[in-house]
Structure 1
């Protein structure tokens, strides 16, 4: 591959932060970096400023050596970066006063991935896991004055290939459509960095998290954890401090004080003296309990079920030696109980077919809650950008606004930044956390297992205290892959099964169970306890009577309720769509790229057959002419319609099936996107909502009338109630519309009832077999005491491409001059007037920052009013001019 050989110099930059924290000196160095590149044939150096936290791709972009990696074909054109070796060099000063301290520990919180580390020319460490925190005893290597830290990175692509030669583990490589790299399963690295069916390959290199040196004399708290356990009328707060001491293999005495702020501006204090013996590396841990009355705290609840009170815990350690050195840690505690319940399903469903097998649901604070949500992939393909707070806020707030109560952090990505989990704690979004093994078999040699063991220990210790974390899963889809022979492993099935058990059962499971009380699931999907009884590899990991399932069917009609199998818990399901033209245009300036069959579009579609599947769904329901001059624009729009309707159909089926199958979760694939390309995401890269995410606000609504169109053509009606109070004698209104009129052709009302936390099939059915279904559709709504809102729902008996009476509407848009400001947002009232039914009315104002509160409307009223929320103030008339719209018309 051709590459530039121009040389670049740099101006040297030093950035030093000196902090005095808790009476011991704590120095954080954000190193001045020089990056070198070594070619295979001739040695040529590129010298540029580096950043910590950062990475080579980011630094090369800043220096202008490579352009924006997400534009055009740059994922392939910049691949040379991943094939070369790179060295980060940092220079920093150490004073005599600092070096006098008894201990000097260098912490590297994220080294991506294979690197040799030298301090003042002495080798001190070799790294092989980007998820580990590395601690180096730097005392003997430091000197007064200038010190040099060098981190010499090897090519991750070559390192993976070399390791595969010794420990080959299937598969051989990713599909060619991915434009990716091979053998990522050999490295403890973000698996998606070598490409995925929704993302590009950027095999990253760099110090993706911070680095720091701590100087101290006696003992410090490195990590603080706290777990809650309910005992009658009291809570037991189990507090654990993980210590690091300058005294190794020695008995030390410490004084610990803990303070918890609770309700009524009260503080619960405890103070204790401890004697403990440190290990050979100077580490030790101390555990103690704090007993708290339930009267002084409020329970923490998932989003939609209650509030999320968090209580400040401060723990300080004072060595017993004659010293002023104090080490303190702070965290927030949420009080809740959670249990994954796998018991005889007949206890919920009787001795019916559905009652065979085991349940699979989460009981939170004593209540069985249906989990509504999605799957989270890294928010950026470069890990150093994955913890951007603005992006995390945007995505998690979007999830909360769509009534989500759970996100599954997928196993091919990252253990997310502390800020992500803290935000989930604050918003009430439960986290199903996969360990980072996905869609591969994995080695089980001793070196790999030792590496994994340390990774799991650090991860569980670090994250377990978050009230949002409720489940650990060993891997993504590897049980299904092995029994399904996805990677041609059938001839060596016993070998791979043994390695599977050695990794996920013998290595990972005991660590999790020893450190945390949250449930551990060996794989996802899995039959849960039944898979374990079957030797951990079930003959059918998708058995609807057990565990969780992943389901994708691109060939059948995804708007048809009847194609979807039953499940206890749907942890993955989805359908692709295109990102908006606005988002696509951020990655290419070439008009010739804006075609479905362009080289650019084909390059961005990593799912084999992806465009064909989208077109198949479009053609089932909508009319789209390939010769239409607006074909590409309509293909984008229609793809988002079919995705939204497919996810609406499947999700509502799972919510309805709480009544019939005790289905207790719907986490669709996927929440977010990683670049500007077709994918299963509901939120585009950059934060723009697709139609699907708008629809999620409705299909995840706490109270919903949910109709199911049967194969017979008739309609069953369910009333879904996610509240703690019943709906008694509500009024379900069914309006029959012709496509040509905004006045219902007929209206019928029925009595609706639903118990708390339930889905209930109502005792009436809408019969359509005697109606002219080619020119009608049904609108469902609810009026009930105590129900403030419940969205409209609709049934289209026939494919929309065949309906009659759907004609071009007149649409008038007006923006009110009255603008309200709420916190940092400006709210604009947008009024729409129409003269007939409009299907999938889609509003855009891409020239203005912000978002419409609702979108993708089925318009059945002559007048609707919606809000637009954005950070900017803009003149109403100017705003009107910037609003564009699309809708579906045969």
Structure 2
């Protein structure tokens, strides 16, 4: 705890000395020090130690009953686990002092999913939602000494089937290529746990979050909801405190203390006393207000626009006998999703805008989509992996991530890091790519889930929007699941779930303009059309998802306009080094192998990758290194497709009010072909290195407007204008490192703009098969990456020479716990997509995937915790590049 908080504690406790106050205590059911857990199956043939937090698959792996679930075909070979019934049994001791408390509450923060909970032979509940917090009054069931807890889990696959038999909602099942299970839309469980087109099915069960028994006498503070609003020169804070109380107590006297440390080492403290009526022991609300001068706090900004100051807010609740507290770190910012009519004088004069205004500025959202880090939920919150992935997003200028609706509400640590890093979060609720039932049991658990999660997460400055679902409006309108014959029924159920049930909860807790019914969709226009728009992909409204696997996606004329691109992407294969952690036999490394077919869950996925590659690259089917090159070329193709599409969206800022580009997807859940830019294990694909360039705050970006004619945009995402910059255009032949022509343009750009230069580059007099263009920017105190334009597909270029490449490594510098080695690649010819690897060394290159146009073809740094001589590293470095 901070020193200032300790001082406040002393003062508060001193004023309360006339009471016999003690902090409530907890008995952790997640600690092997206090509880012993075992796991056994229905017929008793398996009995192993268990973990909390944990799950059946992770416990069976630890016990050696099953192997690494992500290797080979183990997702299918271990599917028997999902059909068995499993019981977690825990034994623990309770002391006489603990039972002397008036209240004993058992709290499960996450139970996955259908469990009968027994305590000392007494049934407490049948759970049905992995996302909710379950709280039980267990005072009457506990005893001094040894106690036994039992959670008997039903197969989630069987439970989903049973519910579907009674409350069917389309689709009937996932495509066979998924190797998945059916009817996950019937249950409140991570939807991707039954498989997806980028991930395996592991329908786990378990106590996937911590659990404890709380002992207190009158009331405790469970959580708080912090609302703040800027009024003139002040911030008004409304702190809604949610109390849980002794069910026998009807009137509670509580004193609430709130204090926050502000700039200049100031501390603001507010105290208020309440007499409240308890509501059957759960969620009694008391409100305390604060008024803070705008001079006492600094604004929180997204990554790339400023700092992310966070302020410690403590709230303590005192009763006559006990106290409890909650600590939040909050940031002060204004954010609103702006959907207003487009100006009449605009080239896109129809429709509504769709952009995020942050602290009064319309900011372009640059980022990606986040899927669960692991298919087992107990591993999905791993802190080191969370930090690695979020830091990777920051490093490539991302300022927004969309937490996708087929996954999880992420960990508190995830959102805390997003607060610190300035990554804004578009939070989908976990409903995706399905119709959903609306029976009373389902709606009741959804109400509890949404209420709890919005309250628990709302105070994070990083969370800027909640969305009801992923793609369900588009699926219903587009008849994805053959629902047209029952369209009116499904539309009514859709509205009942997302509009009648969820929308009022979110907007009551957060206020208006905080909830988007569906993504993609037309936003307010969809609402005006009865929540199912005739065309949910209308480019004049809302956000869109766009995938086209057969067009030439290196040509930006392929892409439709949009106000906000919240999903778009293309597949690639993971690197060989990542594949080797899962593939078990040499023959697996072939596109025709059973292993490769098993890992590709997207129907016709390899065909689409090949079709896209063949449009621009040349790869001989008879090449002895065909598979290795296919893997590498797939990453080139993916990187260039997403680069082209992203720059198109950035260029469209001024001409079409396009204000967001979130590509699909950031991370991977296993070692398989997918749309990710970062492989499972954390290795960057070429796409993620390219993102560092195409998301740069300032970028010179070309666009072919007609054959042989190239327009030039100066993209400026900064809060200040660019003045007196020089754009340098170098025209190269493929057979030389010396440009054949150089032109310069003077350019200015307003703040937050996508300015198209009046001058265009006309190449029609040249043999466009033999040339390419390099763009760079020279401006004071602006670091902008170079960019390139290739007039012809690389498979048909003329003059490209096979290069000689020499690698040099300098002595390292120690940076924290890592050694930073400078690596230089010298070349004697133009090199396309020069890719460096360091074999069998744990570490990473800071930059990669170079277009080499100078004798010093590439300069980067390799970072590793391994100390070695420069020559040792040089010998380990290998390289690839595109050549035909």
- TM-score, normalised to structure 1's length? 0.95
Map of 2:39 onto structure 1: 35
Q: How does 1:650-665 map to 2 (within 5 A)?
A: 650-665=645-660
**1:646 is the counterpart of 2:650:** no
Map of 1:487 onto structure 2: 481
Shift of 1:329: 1.4
Counterpart pick for 1:466 among 460, 464, 470: 460
Map of 2:342 onto structure 1: 345
Please give the per-residue CA displacement for 1:540-567, whole angstroms capped at 9, x wherever unaligned: 1000000000000000001000000000
Do the aligned residues in 2 keep the contact of 1:228 with 1:336 (CA within 8 Å)?
Answer: no
Distance 1:123 1:26 in 2: 22
Counterpart pick for 2:756 among 761, 768, 785: 761
Do the aligned residues in 2 keep the contact of 1:562 with 1:711 (CA within 8 Å)?
Answer: no
Counterpart pick for 1:433 among 427, 436, 443: 427
Do the aligned residues in 2 keep the contact of 1:713 with 1:797 (CA within 8 Å)?
Answer: yes
Map of 2:726 onto structure 1: 731
Structure 1 unmatched runs, 5+:
1-20
Please give the per-residue CA displacement for 1:96-140, whole angstroms capped at 9, x wherever unaligned: 111010000000011000110000011001100000000010101
Counterpart pick for 1:556 among 551, 555, 559: 551
Distance 2:168 2:315 in 1: 47
Distance 1:238 1:643 in 2: 47
Do the aligned residues in 2 keep the contact of 1:112 with 1:130 (CA within 8 Å)?
Answer: yes
Q: How does 1:492-503 map to 2 (within 5 A)?
A: 492-503=486-497
Q: How does 1:103-182 map to 2 (within 5 A)?
A: 103-182=103-182
Map of 1:368 onto structure 2: 362
Distance 1:678 1:357 in 2: 38
Runs of 4+ in 1 over 6 A off after TM superposition: none
Please give the per-residue CA displacement for 1:606-662, whole angstroms capped at 9, x wherever unaligned: 000100010011111111011111001000000000000000000000000001101
Distance 1:341 1:80 in 2: 49
Please give the per-residue CA displacement for 1:460-508, whole angstroms capped at 9, x wherever unaligned: 0011110000000000000000010000000000000000000000000
Map of 2:14 onto structure 1: none
Please give the per-residue CA displacement for 1:432-482, whole angstroms capped at 9, x wherever unaligned: 000000000000111111111111101100111100000000000000000
Counterpart pick for 2:503 among 492, 498, 509: 509
Shift of 1:221: 0.7
Counterpart pick for 2:378 among 384, 390, 405: 384
Counterpart pick for 2:327 among 305, 327, 330: 330
Distance 1:562 1:351 in 2: 21
Map of 1:572 onto structure 2: 567
Counterpart pick for 1:745 among 740, 744, 751: 740
Counterpart pick for 1:848 among 814, 823, 841: 841
Map of 1:274 onto structure 2: 274
**1:444 is the counterpart of 2:463:** no
Map of 2:541 onto structure 1: 546
Map of 2:63 onto structure 1: 63
Moved more, 761-770 or 148-157: 761-770
Secondary structure of the 1:764 match is coil
Shift of 1:239: 1.0
Distance 2:517 2:165 in 1: 28
Do the aligned residues in 2 keep the contact of 1:178 with 1:197 (CA within 8 Å)?
Answer: yes
Map of 1:880 onto structure 2: 874
Map of 1:7 onto structure 2: none
Distance 1:283 1:832 in 2: 63
Distance 1:887 1:865 in 2: 16
Distance 2:131 2:804 in 1: 56
Please give the per-residue CA displacement for 1:690-737, whole angstroms capped at 9, x wherever unaligned: 000000000000000000123423111000001111111210000001
Alpha-carbon spacing, 1:177–1:22, altered in 2? closer, same or farther (3 Å): farther
**1:304 is the counterpart of 2:297:** no
Map of 1:8 onto structure 2: none
Shift of 1:589: 2.6
Secondary structure of the 2:225 match is strand
Map of 1:18 onto structure 2: none
Do the aligned residues in 2 keep the contact of 1:727 with 1:785 (CA within 8 Å)?
Answer: no
Distance 2:464 2:170 in 1: 31
Shift of 1:23: 2.6
Do the aligned residues in 2 keep the contact of 1:781 with 1:790 (CA within 8 Å)?
Answer: yes
**1:618 is the counterpart of 2:613:** yes
Please give the per-residue CA displacement for 1:862-890, whole angstroms capped at 9, x wherever unaligned: 11321112222222111111111000011
**1:809 is the counterpart of 2:806:** no
Distance 2:249 2:442 in 1: 28
**1:835 is the counterpart of 2:835:** no
Secondary structure of the 2:337 match is strand
- TM-score, normalised to structure 2's length? 0.96
**1:780 is the counterpart of 2:775:** yes
Structure 2 unmatched runs, 5+:
1-20
Map of 1:719 onto structure 2: 714
Do the aligned residues in 2 keep the contact of 1:248 with 1:282 (CA within 8 Å)?
Answer: no
Distance 2:478 2:177 in 1: 22
Distance 1:29 1:380 in 2: 24
Do the aligned residues in 1 keep the contact of 2:105 with 2:214 (CA within 8 Å)?
Answer: yes
Secondary structure of the 2:127 match is strand
Map of 1:695 onto structure 2: 690
Shift of 1:846: 3.8
Do the aligned residues in 1 keep the contact of 2:218 with 2:249 (CA within 8 Å)?
Answer: no
Do the aligned residues in 2 keep the contact of 1:457 with 1:511 (CA within 8 Å)?
Answer: yes
Distance 2:820 2:228 in 1: 41
Distance 1:137 1:59 in 2: 29
Please give the per-residue CA displacement for 1:754-792, whole angstroms capped at 9, x wherever unaligned: 1001111111101111111111000000011231x1000
Do the aligned residues in 2 keep the contact of 1:253 with 1:276 (CA within 8 Å)?
Answer: yes
Map of 1:14 onto structure 2: none
Map of 2:13 onto structure 1: none
Counterpart pick for 2:818 among 825, 843, 858: 825
Secondary structure of the 2:603 match is coil
Distance 1:376 1:407 in 2: 6
Distance 1:122 1:453 in 2: 27
Distance 2:781 2:579 in 1: 44
Q: How many residues align?
A: 858
**1:47 is the counterpart of 2:37:** no
Distance 2:491 2:649 in 1: 32
Secondary structure of the 2:126 match is strand
